């Protein structure tokens, strides 16, 4: 089967990482006929919609808009499902929104049995796994990470019963000057003292291309989509992209979405007026419950209309946060105290973090939340 028989798809969440991945893939691998899609909840920030428009122009391709429910002009997919759930607002423990508004439409879009490679923009400096589809015809690849393979593939390839087979694959496809050391690591069984992450990290340290060639050869013995092709260019790619690389790609092309721009705020600390900085750390719905308190303050002060709309959802005992309503959070004394806490935390981070970049210091909770919405 040739490379043409599998589908390559890339989801644009509206966040910086998926946007940068689309640009990166189109620059490096124009031969892959990538399909782009985005899932619109109907409540994204306007900067997200602008980013999607700019990307379409830059990529020279349209980005398919997947919508979870047939909506009318008065309604939105989110409001439709909120009605279905009886006004029960989603939360980090009851995240029906991600499933209904992002994952289900994606799986519906991929309904046929065509093998699909889904490219996901989790960065090399992040410690999280992306969403892995339960459908066997969809395989996720993470081009920005040192380990481009999904956890399920790695678990299968490096399970103890596969040791002899992986040794043979390294002898055939992963020859390098470190081969003896690599084989020593491969032969060491997984145990409580030697976990999968440690084994994989060590093997990757000893040779990324060799590791990729071996995993690709292993996939030939499975039903994964990549078993259907003879060649996959990312096998030979050793790039690892971190946060600053992402900003660099965006600055050179479509620009960084405006909500990441740092804005100043003033706050009184021990009788002195200090200047702090805040921004939104992620894309997604303007009312997303994953926001930090300071991001709610940012929304209140920079998009008061959206804050009012978010607050209007809080009724019948439902609220976006566990212990505080948006009406309470908007009280002047509460805003001052959130800014004070944020300012002091950022000062502590500044002393701890080695990075010189303000975004690294400020967006310390970026990793939390939902890969489908914020990548």
Taking residues 183 to 222 in sequence order and writing x for each that binds ligand SF4 by CB under 6 A, - otherwise, the string is ----------------------------------------
> What values do phi and psi take at 278, rounded to 5?
-140, 160
Q: How far is the CB of 93 from ligand SF4 (least distance, A)?
A: 12
What distance in Å separates the CA atoms of residue 249 and residue 23, rounded to the nearest whole number? 8
Q: How far is the CB of 227 from ligand SF4 (least distance, A)?
A: 32
Out of 284, 300, 335, 339, point to the residue binding ligand SF4 (CB under 6 A): 284
Nearer to ligand SF4, 103 or 215 (CB): 103
User: What does DSSP assign to residue 258?
Assistant: G
- Whose tokens are 């409540």? That residue is 43
Positive or negative CA dihedral for 90, 94, 97, 98? Answer: positive
Neighbours of 340 (CB within 10 A): 16
What distance in Å separates the CA atoms of residue 188 and residue 69, rounded to the nearest whole number? 51
Out of 26, 38, 48, 98, point to the residue binding ligand SF4 (CB under 6 A): 98
Out of 200, 217, 285, 310, point to the residue binding ligand SF4 (CB under 6 A): 285
Q: How far is the CB of 149 from ligand SF4 (least distance, A)?
A: 25
| 346: nearest Cα among 361, 359, 360 | 361
Could you say whether residue 97 binds ligand SF4 (CB under 6 A)?
A: yes
Out of 77, 90, 105, 207, point to the residue binding ligand SF4 (CB under 6 A): 90
Structure tokens that stand for 285 in this block = 């719905």
Pick the piece of the chain touching ligand SF4 (CB under 6 A) from 135-143, 252-260, 282-290, 306-314. Answer: 282-290
Could you say whether residue 276 binds ligand SF4 (CB under 6 A)?
A: no
Q: Which helix (H) or strand (E) is 264 found in, with range?
A: strand 263-269
Q: Which helix (H) or strand (E) is 339 found in, with range?
A: helix 332-352
Q: How far is the CB of 362 from ligand SF4 (least distance, A)?
A: 20
Neighbours of 177 (CB within 10 A): 9
Q: How far is the CB of 354 from ligand SF4 (least distance, A)?
A: 30
Could you say whether residue 89 binds ligand SF4 (CB under 6 A)?
A: no
> What values do phi and psi take at 286, rounded to 5?
-65, -25
Out of 36, 37, 290, 307, point to the residue binding ligand SF4 (CB under 6 A): 290
| 130: nearest Cα among 303, 367, 344, 325 | 367
What distance in Å separates the CA atoms of residue 65 and residue 38, rounded to the nearest whole number? 5
What distance in Å separates the CA atoms of residue 108 and residue 118, rounded to the nearest whole number? 14
Cα separation values, 283 from 129, 175, 202, 338, Å? 18, 43, 34, 21
Nearer to ligand SF4, 224 or 290 (CB): 290
Helix (H/G/I), strand (E/B), else coil: 9? strand
Taking residues 15 to 54 in sequence order and writing x for each that binds ligand SF4 by CB under 6 A, - otherwise, the string is --------------------------x-------------
Could you say whether residue 329 binds ligand SF4 (CB under 6 A)?
A: no
Pick the piece of the chain touching ligand SF4 (CB under 6 A) from 93-101, 116-124, 154-162, 268-276. Answer: 93-101
Out of 101, 166, 338, 371, point to the residue binding ligand SF4 (CB under 6 A): 101
> Residues interacting with ligand SF4, by CB under 6 A?
41, 90, 95, 97-98, 101-102, 284-285, 288, 290, 370, 373
């Amino acid at each position: 089967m040739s490379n043409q028989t599998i589908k390559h798809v890339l989801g644009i969440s509206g966040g910086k990482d998926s946007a940068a991945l689309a640009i990166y893939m189109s620059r490096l691998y124009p031969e892959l006929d990538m399909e782009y899609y985005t899932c619109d909840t109907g409540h994204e920030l306007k900067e997200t919609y602008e980013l999607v428009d700019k990307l379409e122009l830059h990529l020279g391709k349209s980005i398919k808009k997947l919508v979870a429910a047939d909506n009318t002009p008065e309604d939105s997919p989110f409001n439709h499902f909120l009605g279905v759930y009886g006004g029960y607002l989603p939360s980090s423990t009851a995240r029906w929104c991600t499933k209904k508004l992002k994952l289900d439409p994606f799986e519906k879009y991929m309904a046929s049995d065509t093998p699909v490679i889904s490219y996901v923009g989790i960065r090399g400096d992040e410690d999280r796994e992306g969403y892995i589809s339960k459908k066997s015809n969809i395989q996720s690849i993470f081009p920005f990470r040192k380990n481009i393979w999904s956890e399920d593939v790695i678990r299968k390839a490096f399970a103890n019963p596969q040791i002899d087979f992986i040794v043979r694959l390294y002898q055939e496809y992963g020859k390098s000057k470190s081969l003896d050391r690599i084989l020593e690591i491969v032969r060491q069984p997984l145990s409580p003292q030697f976990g999968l992450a440690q084994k994989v990290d060590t093997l990757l340290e000893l040779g990324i291309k060799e590791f990729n060639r071996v995993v690709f050869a292993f996939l030939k013995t499975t039903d994964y989509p990549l078993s259907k092709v003879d060649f996959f260019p990312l096998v030979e790619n050793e790039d690892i992209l971190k946060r600053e690389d992402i900003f660099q790609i965006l600055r050179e092309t479509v620009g960084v979405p405006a909500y990441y721009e740092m804005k100043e705020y003033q706050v009184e600390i021990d009788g002195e007026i200090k200047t702090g900085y805040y921004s939104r750390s992620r894309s997604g719905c303007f009312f997303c419950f994953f926001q930090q308190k300071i991001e709610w303050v940012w929304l209140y002060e920079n998009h008061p209309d959206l804050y009012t709309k978010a607050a209007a959802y809080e009724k019948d005992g439902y609220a976006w946060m566990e212990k505080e309503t948006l009406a309470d959070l908007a009280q002047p004394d509460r805003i001052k105290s959130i800014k004070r806490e944020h300012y002091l935390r950022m000062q502590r981070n500044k002393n701890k973090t080695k990075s010189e970049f303000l975004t690294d210091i400020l967006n310390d909770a970026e990793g939390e939340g939902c890969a489908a919405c914020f990548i």
